[in-house]
């Protein structure tokens, strides 16, 4: 699985929102500057994160973003999914008609097992784990 730029930015944005312990929303402009993410891209990603229910966004002069749930309840997988969809190691899972060898292919089964391992790991890591790792530097 390769992390896309959008996913990398989404992870950074979620980290910044999670680090904001003031209780006040943090503006997308501030997030953009803190995380070195182009402003328009930061706006789009925060919109996607809000649509996924991971953050709450308030518009206006005093608006911004806050976590919709405690950081320990937000999985790394949910953030990755906003950035690039469900994690997938191979195109084998693209659909039933993608490969003519699907019925007899042990490679597909192996790659599906890999996807299960990755998925399990991403579900086991929370945003609070990422925040804890940042604070341990």
pLDDT at site 23? 81
Confidence of residue 137 (pLDDT cuts 50, 70, 90): very low
pLDDT tens per residue, range 58-102: 988 888 999 999 999 999 999 999 998 887 777 666 666 667 776
More confident residue, 24 or 14: 14
Question: What's the fold here for domain 5-135?
Answer: Arc Repressor Mutant, subunit A (1.10.10)
Provide Rg for the chain, Cα atoms. 17
pLDDT tens per residue, range 113-135: 888 898 999 999 999 998 987 65
pLDDT at site 42? 95
- 85-57-46 Cα angle (round to 5): 35
Handedness of CA 128, 126, 88, 45 (dihedral sign): negative
The 3-class secondary structure across 46-99, one letter per residue, is: HHHHHHCCCEEEECCCCCEEEECCCHHHCEHHHHHHHHHCCCCCCHHHHCCCCC
Write down the mean pLDDT value for the chain: 87
The domains of the chain are located at 5-135
Report the C-alpha gap between 44 and 67 in whole angstroms. 16
pLDDT at site 114? 86
């Amino acid at each position: 699985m390769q992390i896309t730029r959008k996913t990398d930015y989404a992870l950074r944005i979620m980290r910044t929102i999670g680090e904001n312990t003031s209780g006040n929303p943090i503006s997308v402009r501030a997030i953009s500057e803190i995380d070195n993410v182009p402003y328009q891209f930061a706006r789009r990603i925060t919109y996607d994160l809000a649509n996924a229910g991971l953050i709450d966004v308030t518009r206006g002069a005093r608006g911004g973003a806050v976590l919709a749930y405690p950081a320990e309840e937000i999985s790394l997988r949910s953030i990755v999914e906003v950035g690039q969809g469900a994690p997938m190691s191979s195109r084998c899972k693209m659909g039933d008609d993608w490969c003519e060898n699907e019925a007899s292919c042990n490679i597909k089964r192996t790659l599906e097992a890999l996807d299960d391992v990755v998925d399990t790991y991403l579900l086991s890591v929370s945003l609070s784990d990422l925040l804890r790792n940042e604070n341990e530097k």
